[in-house]
Chain A
């Protein structure tokens, strides 16, 4: 297969960026999008040119490193799929493909297609954990949890922190990511002792990072490779209202 690519090139964080055009040939339909870029990079290196910087790690949809905006869609046109899992057969032969980095002021570009997503780590560090002493693992069924609640918590916990929700949101809001983290802990008894301060601190950190606010467009859920539902955003807001109107919440702010 042959493709005409328009790829964002940017030398460094505060450098101006621009699109450059490339043509790749002899692409096997089973190749992933990243393997196609690998092949292009090998050609660029052979020609003595600077290869295109992009990020990847697991290449099997679990680490969240590989996000790109492909033809205007975070992780490309296929739903429920990361960029590394996207196969070139999803595109017609000879297609023109535009590749851009995730764009959000909270995700500054490091180089070419690589952005700094550590704002998401700081949101987690602000409250996305439970405080327990480590030791031997507790007995699995010591705390009974209804199956539907466990399932809902697991669905939220499936978030891989890729940031596609931010990339796809017209407001560059991190509401879905933050909500997924708030939800999976708020649903489980282990998360209850710190629920007020967790949601307040995580929302506050989200704002400090400069993400936008959620207008309920639902573009995040459509782009999320793990299909995290926006009902989690409603749950985060419930948690927030609850924390903001309770004594425990008031203490949490201090």
Chain B
């Protein structure tokens, strides 16, 4: 290990995006794109609150499915972001553990400018929770039972009914909401961290991005948190 790597080993053999800096660029880019998706997804889900017995949500979902191949392209892209985020994440975590095999007897933060929080320390844990959650979530809704409804004479999937039915189950509703607390932590550190990993921050923008990240995390996760709880208590079964 302690040799001059004059042949640029890691950069040449593993490639520029599989170095300590490169992996974080991949994680950051994919993470930000996933956050972009989460915002669109949340905006769509808030249609559950429309109080129209699901008309708006079902028609939105119907329009999406009319896109056909475009929808599939979007799904494949999302899966690619998700996988590259996870793969580089696992590599980052493994390398980091290897870098310090003997632990400190005592470890303390010096505070001040440090950005270390539960959120930053728990990225791998909150990430793993999301890794379990996301496939379960797709299986529950997208791959769930197919109810049909007719809106304005057009037969379509009644996804609204499925959402309300799922969240009338207290175990589903409350565990879903609990996962959102972890999402909140992941985003609270993830947003500013991604911008920092992409080299987008400087003395002026770093503190702004840090605060925006926390606000964004609370808003996005908060939206997804309220949804199952509100549905459980206040939305009648259609």
Contacts and interface: CB of A to CB of B under 8 A. Distances in A.
A21 B100 CA distance: 25
B85 to A, nearest CB: 14
Contacts of A98: 105-106
A200 B11 contact: yes
Contact of B199 (A69, A215, A236): A236
Interface in B110-162: 110-116, 120-121, 123
A236 B108 CA distance: 27
A74 B9 CA distance: 31
A180 interface: no
Contacts of B103: 103
B113 to A, nearest CB: 5
Nearest to B1: A210
B20 A212 contact: yes
A100 B104 contact: yes
Contacts of B206: 230-231, 234
A231 B201 contact: yes
Contacts of A35: none
Interface stretch (B74-82, B91-99, B230-238): B91-99
B65 interface: no
A204 interface: yes
Nearest to B201: A234
B199 A240 contact: yes
Contacts of A238: 199-200
A39 interface: no
B116 A103 contact: no
Nearest to A201: B8
A6 B106 CA distance: 11
A231 B210 CA distance: 13
Interface in A215-254: 215-219, 221-223, 229-231, 233-241, 244, 253
Interface string B4-20: 11001111100011011
B8 A105 contact: no
A222 B111 contact: yes
A208 interface: yes
A119 B102 CA distance: 18
Contacts of A211: 20, 99
B66 interface: no
8 contacts: A103-B104, A204-B8, A208-B5, A213-B20, A215-B96, A215-B193, A234-B196, A238-B199
B117 to A, nearest CB: 9
A22 interface: no
Interface stretch (A49-57, A58-66, A129-137, A170-178): A170-178
Interface of A: 6, 8, 19, 69, 71-74, 77, 79, 98, 100, 103-106, 118-119, 122, 125-126, 168, 170-173, 175, 200-201, 203-219, 221-223, 229-231, 233-241, 244, 253
A237 B198 contact: yes
Nearest to B108: A72
Contact of B99 (A106, A205, A239): A106
B235 to A, nearest CB: 40
A216 to B, nearest CB: 4
Nearest to B113: A221
A213 B4 contact: no
Contact of B11 (A171, A223, A253): A253
Given A69-B104, A212-B95, A214-B20, A241 B116 contact: no
B101 A71 contact: no
Contact of B110 (A8, A79, A172, A236): A79
Contacts of B21: 175, 203, 213-214, 236-237, 240
Nearest to B190: A216
Given A207-B20, A216-B120, A100 B105 contact: yes
A244 B22 contact: yes
A72 B105 CA distance: 7
B25 A241 contact: yes
A204 B9 CA distance: 7
Contacts of A231: 201-203, 206
B106 A205 contact: no
Given A73-B108, A253-B8, A240 B22 contact: yes
A210 B98 contact: yes
Contacts of A73: 108-110
A216 B202 contact: no
